[in-house]
Amino acid sequence: MSSAMQIMVVDDEENICEALAAWFQKDGYGVETAGSGPEALERMQQKPCDVYLVDIKMPGMDGLELLARLKEKQPDVDVIMITAHGSVQTAVEAMKRGACDYLCKPFDPDQLSLLMERVMASKALRDENIVLREQLAEQREAIFDGFVAQSETMQNVFSIIEDVAPSSAPVLITGETGVGKELIAHTIHTLSEQSYGPFVAINCGALSETLLESEIFGHERGAFTGAAKARRGRLEMANNGTLFLDEVGEISNKMQVALLRALEEKKFERLGGSRAIETNFRLISATHQDLPQRIKENQFREDFFYRINVITVPVAPLRERLEDVPALADHFLERYVQETGKRIEGFTQRALGMLMSYSWPGNVRELRNVIERGVVIARGRMIGAKELTFLNTPSAECQLGTLTLREVEISHVRAALEACNWNISHAAKQLGIDRSTLNRKIKLYHMIRP
Amino acid sequence: MHTNQSKPTDKALVDLILLGHVNETAVSIVAANLQAIMGLNTDIRPVLEKPDYAYVPGRNQFDSAKIIKTLCSITGGAPLKLGLIESDLCTPILTFVYGESQLGGKAALVSLHRLSAEDPAVTYQRIAKISLHEVAHLLGIRHCWKTTCLMKHSSNLEPLDSLSIYFCSACEYEIQRHLKTLINRDT
């Protein structure tokens, strides 16, 4: 049993101290005894205990006074009062003043065992909670150290994040694929009051409408074919935490209506269910789409847009903040060098120039993949132009001024697909985007496999 | 490993001391189990009178701490004393105890009062389990968390009945270690 736990029995009757001490010693606890309140306080100074069993009726300083003095010196201490049958009222009073429980003597061995188990379990939970809160506080302090960005644009984003995080207002993060929208959502959650609750993310673009509905709202047993058992949805899972709807622009109008109701009423029903389930979470959404434009095209509901877009955090694409590229490249280099165990010290000037003159359609994610690839194929101490030759294809060169962004993107995507023999997974990896994003671009630009 | 690994000795290590009338079969079973499971040679001492000095009138029970003090004061015989009594036992703070012992001390006590079951085999097994548990405390063994170990604390009969009559390997090892010290000290 727990040898670390220290218990002090405080009673003016020596035989009671002895009997309880013998009982606890057999359970492996460290036991101290004291015959009076002042003696207990003196011993506490020398060796504080985790749990105190205190007799209410003692000459001089009584149990209630000792309880107050113990709590004053050690607020998180557990004090169990021992009382005779006649003074239960006093014991109840003691509990109001902070005692964790009381025992009427004589008590059943079962009662004492159960009480000690409960006290120990509660103490273990409290200790764990303290450790977790300390860890979280450290993470909160370190969170901006983890961000790699020097540009003024990104410094403004950090400033917005710091301002909006403490409120519970819905946030919409906008920006192209690969700029780090989920990382920003996670940061807002970590800095918010909901940080002790869960962070529940769902990519709305990755699931069909039916699946998405079931994922978000959950379902009851038998709600549809294959629903063999009831399942909690993300709305339920996010209770007291944050719900992150990634690619929110992909949600159908029908789903937007259902979600809007759940967001406004803070309750919903599972699919196939009739019981209203209450939930309370902070909503963060993200999209790469121009939602006001989609509203004009009747593709997105205006009421839903205003519900999710109380605060906007716009994240600029990497090509608009190329000054962040060197720091990001160094950051990813360090990560992959650690992972692979290779001894690579940095980039040659030429390689750095190539990284700085590339348009990064896949943004930070693409840069990360490029550095990973560079580390894997590099043979020397530096990553040079040789390791980045694939950035030099005609489509990869920055041709701003001669081509529109759309044209550059079409050309680059096509080149990547051709280079990978139309293997969608490989091409998506090379571009630094998801398969679903690549499929969407193929469809959008009407690209057909030759 | 359920048998004694320590140096064999013919000398009794436990004296069974009967306090008033005690069921003879129960006494034999306790002695046999102490020998078989813990490897402790046991002597059954002449019956002592019922300990009226420990009677608690308001509770109609006997104070186990007072009886243990008397058992400790007995000189001669085996180094460990296990008292058996048919009456109900209590302590100043507990409404009842099945048994009581001094951790790493000299004397322990077991009451048969609350251990009876419809099936006599169950009754005798309970008596043997409590006796082995209390004697292990005398050897300095504390309670064990393992659900299969006899040193797991049982505050009522249900968990006691579900316990094995054997010790887990860790407690068994500790018992043998303490037993060796006791034998060396005594010889």
pLDDT of residue B141: 94
Contact B95 A82 (CB under 8 A): no
Beta bridge partners of A201: A244
The least confident of A159-168, A440-449, B133-142, B168-177 is: A440-449
Nearest to A101 by CA among A114, A91, A111: A91
Beginning with the edge strand found earlier in the chain, give each strand of the sheet holding A6-10 in spatial order.
A30-34, A6-10, A51-55, A78-84, A101-105
Burial classification of residue A275, based on how many CB atoms lie within 10 Å of its CB (0-12 exposed, 13-18 middle, 19 or more buried): exposed
C-alpha A152/C-alpha A316 separation (Å) is: 11
SS3 state at B18: strand
Measured between beta carbons, which residues in chain A are less than 8 angstroms from residue B95? 106-109
Name the token pair of B140. 């300095």
ipTM for this prediction: 0.82
Measured between beta carbons, which residues in chain B are less than 8 angstroms from residue A110? 155-156
**Cross-chain CB nearest to A26 (options B92, B93, B137):** B137
Contact A18 B102 (CB under 8 A): no
The distance from CA A44 to its chain's CA centroid, rounded to whole angstroms, is: 40
CA distance to partner chain A, nearest, from residue B181 (Å): 20
Name the token pair of B79. 């180094």
Angle at CA of residue A367, ends A394 and A164, nearest 5°: 130
C-alpha A347/C-alpha A326 separation (Å) is: 9
Name the token pair of B134. 């209390």
Contact A13 B137 (CB under 8 A): no
The least confident of A282-286, A322-326, B31-35, B134-138 is: A322-326
What is the DSSP pairing of strand B55-56 with strand B61-63? antiparallel
Nearest to B167 by CA among B148, B154, B182, B181: B148
The distance from CA B117 to its chain's CA centroid, rounded to whole angstroms, is: 19
Contact B92 A15 (CB under 8 A): yes
With contact defined as beta carbons under 8 Å apart, do A234 and A215 qualify?
yes
SS (H, E, C) chain A: CCCCCEEEEECCCHHHHHHHHHHHHHCCCEEEEECCHHHHHHHHHHCCCCEEEEECCCCCCCHHHHHHHHHHHCCCCEEEEEEEHHHHHHHHHHHHCCCCEEEEECECHHHHHHHHHHHHHHHHHHHHHHHHHHHHHHHHHHHHHHCCCCCHHHHHHHHHHHHHCCCCCCEEEECCCCCCHHHHHHHHHHHCHHHHCCEEEEECCCCCHHHHHHHHHEECCCCCCCCCCCEECHHHHCCCCEEEEECHHHCCHHHHHHHHHHHHHCEECCECCCCCEECCCEEEEEECCCHHHHHHCCCCCHHHHHHHCCEEEECCCHHHHHHHHHHHHHHHHHHHHHHHCCCCCEECHHHHHHHHHECCCCHHHHHHHHHHHHHHHCCCCEECHHHHHHHHCCCCECCECCECHHHHHHHHHHHHHHHCCCCHHHHHHHHCCCHHHHHHHHHHCCCCCC
Name the token pair of A181. 């929208």
Interface of B with A (CB under 8 A): 59, 65, 90-97, 100, 102-103, 137, 142-145, 153, 155-156
CA distance to partner chain A, nearest, from residue B95 (Å): 5
All residue ranges of chain A with pLDDT < 50 are 1-3, 394-401
CA distances from A242 to A130, A191, A192, A231, A314 (A): 22, 11, 9, 19, 19
Rounded to 10 deg, the angle between the A405-419 and A435-444 helix axes is 120
C-alpha B154/C-alpha B182 separation (Å) is: 27
List the single best residue of B94, B153, B155, B174 to mutate versus A (max A Cβ within 10 A): B94
CA distance to partner chain A, nearest, from residue B20 (Å): 24
pLDDT above 50 for B2: no
**Terminal-residue alpha carbon distance, chain B:** 25
Alpha helices in chain B (DSSP H): 24-38, 64-73, 120-138, 157-162, 169-186
Name the token pair of A329. 């490249």
In the A/B pair of chains, how many CB contacts fall below 8 A? Answer: 61
Neighbours of B117 (CB within 10 A): 13
**Cross-chain CB nearest to A109 (options B92, B103, B155):** B155
C-alpha A217/C-alpha A213 separation (Å) is: 6
Measured between beta carbons, which residues in chain B are less than 8 angstroms from residue A19? 65, 91-94
Chain position carrying tokens 């701490």: B65
With contact defined as beta carbons under 8 Å apart, do A19 and A11 qualify?
no
- Is the full-model pTM beyond 0.90? no
What is the DSSP pairing of strand A277-278 with strand A267-268? antiparallel
Catalytic choice (B134, B158, B172, B174): B134
Name the token pair of A123. 């103490």
Measured between beta carbons, which residues in chain B are less than 8 angstroms from residue A54? none
Which tops the pLDDT comparison, A141 or B117? Answer: B117
Check if A26 contacts B (Cβ < 8 Å).
yes
pLDDT of residue A450: 62
The average pLDDT across B64-79 equals 94
C-alpha A178/C-alpha A175 separation (Å) is: 8
pLDDT of residue B9: 59
- Residue percentage of chain B with pLDDT more than 90: 81
Query: Is there a catalytic annotation at residue B172?
Result: no
The least confident of A307-311, B5-9, B16-20 is: B5-9
Check if A121 contacts B (Cβ < 8 Å).
no
**Cross-chain CB nearest to A13 (options B92, B142, B145):** B92
C-alpha B78/C-alpha B120 separation (Å) is: 30
Name the token pair of A309. 């877009």
CA distance to partner chain B, nearest, from residue A33 (Å): 15
Angle at CA of residue B29, ends B28 and B35, nearest 5°: 90
> Binning pLDDT at 50, 70 and 90, where does residue B50 land?
very high
